[in-house]
Amino acid sequence: MRVYVKFDFNKICKTVLREQLDILGLEYIIHGVGEVEFKRSPSLIEKQNITSTLDLYGIEIMDDQQVALVQRIKDIITEWVHDEEGPKRYNFSTHLSEKLDYSYTYLSSIFSETTYSSIENFIILKKIEYAKSLIINSDLTLTEIAYKLNYSSVAHLSAQFKKTTGLTPSSFQKIIQKRKERSIIQ
């Protein structure tokens, strides 16, 4: 029997962080996505324990400030795209600047220098990744998905989807449907 599940990666990551840091007996505050503030600086041994414990879950502690900032940008984008409260009718550059307390120009520059891609391209990739997930794991129509992801129309979603994946959303839906039918038969 095959079962399809949906993950909230941010929630999973925060839960793992809380559980593991509690086991290690450290006092901390989790700030948004991807940032933990310790009430006191951990000792060298505690840092090694934190690193090895979190590494088991694929959580890596970053030392480079620029790399850490880029990861925070990526985490905020992912959180924004996956926000269940509905479409985002506000300017993302303003949202990002307010969340990180840097100008969007600075954030965009750091992101591009580090990833060799733009924030806008990363947003498109995340939106298409989420659209694929919604097509696979929900009964939403393409119109509902386009609205949920703040596209002006299904045509706009379809154009970006095809440019990114090489398939139209409808073709992707048909492929997924055929796979589901085959798995039911087997």
Interval 92-119: pLDDT, tens: 899 899 989 999 999 999 999 889 999 9
- Give the model's pLDDT for residue 185: 66
Q: Flag residues of the chain having pLDDT under 50.
A: none
User: In 3D, which of 137, 92, 151, 138 has the Cα closest to residue 118?
Assistant: 92
Stretch (H or E) spanning 149: none
- Give the model's pLDDT for residue 86: 56
Return the amino acid letter for 9.
F
- Other C-beta atoms closer than 10 Å to the C-beta of 85 total 5
pTM exceeds 0.85 for this model: no
Helix (H/G/I), strand (E/B), else coil: 36: strand
Q: For the chain, what percentages of helix, strand and coil (3-state, to nearest 5) are there? A: 65, 5, 30
140 — phi, psi (to 5°)?
-70, 145
- Give the model's pLDDT for residue 138: 86
Q: What angle do CA 70, 75, 31 make, to 5 degrees?
A: 100
- Give the model's pLDDT for residue 186: 62
Q: What angle do CA 174, 120, 107 make, to 5 degrees?
A: 150
Q: Which domains does the chain have, with CATH numbers?
A: 9-55 (no CATH), 65-185 (1.10.10.60)
